[in-house]
């Protein structure tokens, strides 16, 4: 099931500071954020499991915040059906040949913190 996407853009107070965002996700939700000039998607699977990956498919740069679907612990680009691991960004099935960049995600208090 694909859920509506809510986009969140925040500004960083300092170039090396991690990005913080509210912890009000629904299971299966994908949000796109700007992280130091990079488009990043944050995915919540439930049970405090958050993943952050680059927001563009490595095949033809489709926007995964719009065409990405989460199936179990995989992200599927619905442009050409490349499949990526949420855990490490690696390609599980092509046509994409390059992995997605993965960002660290921590939960602190009631915030999600994204870092390099």
Q: What is the DSSP string of 22-76?
A: E--PPTT-EEEEEETTEEEEEEEEETTEEEEEESB-TTT--BHHHHEEEETTEEE
Range of the domain at 34: 19-115
The CATH number assigned to the domain holding 67 equals 2.102.10.10
Q: What pLDDT, in 10s, does the model give residues 61-112?
A: 999 999 999 999 999 999 999 999 999 999 999 999 999 999 999 988 888 8
Sheet (strand 74-77) strand order: 68-71, 74-77, 82-85, 91-93
Q: Do residues 48 and 59 make contact, with C-beta atoms less than 8 angstroms apart?
A: no
pLDDT at 92: 98
Q: How far is 84 from 90, CA to CA, in rounded Å?
A: 5
pLDDT of 51 higher than 50: yes
2 within some domain: no
pLDDT at 13: 36
Please count the other Cβ atoms lying within 10 Å of the Cβ belonging to residue 20.
17
42 within some domain: yes
Q: Looking at residues 50-65, what average pLDDT do you find?
A: 97
44 within some domain: yes
Beta bridge partners of 104: 115
14 within some domain: no
Number of domains in the chain: 1
8 within some domain: no
Q: Do residues 54 and 29 make contact, with C-beta atoms less than 8 angstroms apart?
A: no
84 within some domain: yes
**Alpha-carbon distance values, 68 to 35, 50, 63, 102 (Å):** 19, 16, 7, 15
13 within some domain: no
95 within some domain: yes
């Amino acid at each position: 099931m694909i859920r509506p996407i809510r986009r969140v853009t925040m500004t960083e107070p300092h170039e090396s500071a991690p990005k913080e965002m509210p912890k009000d996700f629904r299971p299966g939700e994908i949000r796109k954020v700007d992280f130091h000039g990079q488009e990043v998607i944050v995915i919540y699977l439930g049970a405090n499991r958050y993943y952050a990956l680059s927001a563009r498919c490595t095949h033809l740069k489709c926007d995964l915040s719009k065409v990405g679907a989460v199936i179990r612990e995989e992200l599927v680009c619905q442009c050409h059906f490349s499949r990526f691991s949420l855990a490490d960004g690696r390609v599980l099935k092509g046509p994409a040949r390059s992995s997605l960049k993965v960002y660290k995600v921590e939960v602190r208090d009631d915030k999600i913190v994204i870092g390099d």
